A = this chain, B = another copy of it.
């Protein structure tokens, strides 16, 4: 028997394992035994904490979404309050884009959940909730920058980021292209701000 663990910790650990499995092997590799092995537990443990596979996936999406939003909020909220919006937006973009392996795993996992959500309303709800949070977060920064239509600018930036994630994980573009594109867009959206 392995170390006994706080249930929420164990659920989190399993959710992380789901992400790695999904990221590594694609949708066909997502089996309970595979996840269990990745998490270092047995299928019995998974069954105990989630009862069903769909429940596990639902929690996994919530878990990762929560973590991501927290990270982004920290980026937006830290520093002496009047941090330049451009810098905050750039930080948010970098946090979302798959520029290191950890973010790449997140991106691949998100993509895997995306199609499931397209055929599963429960998952789609989670996505929309998280997107709403993200949108207000970004739109606030555009608002602070004084652009005429902060909502539209926020939608466009998030949209571009989504596209960059997808194209990057297909190898259609490289890391340098990603960064260049983000800067290009930020320069245009807020031309009066100081560079950096």
Check if B127 sits within 8 Å of A184, measured CB to CB: no
Q: From A115, A152, A177, A180, name the one whose CB has the most chain B CB atoms within 10 angstroms.
A: A115
A contact residues, total (Cβ < 8 Å): 44
**Shortest Cβ gap from A104 to chain B (Å):** 9
A7 on the B face (CB < 8 A): no
Within the complex, which residue of B23, B108, B112, B163 is in contact with A163, where a contact is CB–CB below 8 Å? B163
Check if B159 sits within 8 Å of A167, measured CB to CB: yes
Write the chain B residue with the least CB distance to A188. B188
User: Given A156-B184, A163-B162, is A170 in contact with B116 using a C-beta cutoff of 8 Å?
Assistant: no
Interface residues of A (CB under 8 A from B): 23-29, 108, 111-112, 114-120, 124, 127-128, 131, 152, 155-156, 158-164, 166-167, 169-173, 177, 180-181, 184-185, 188
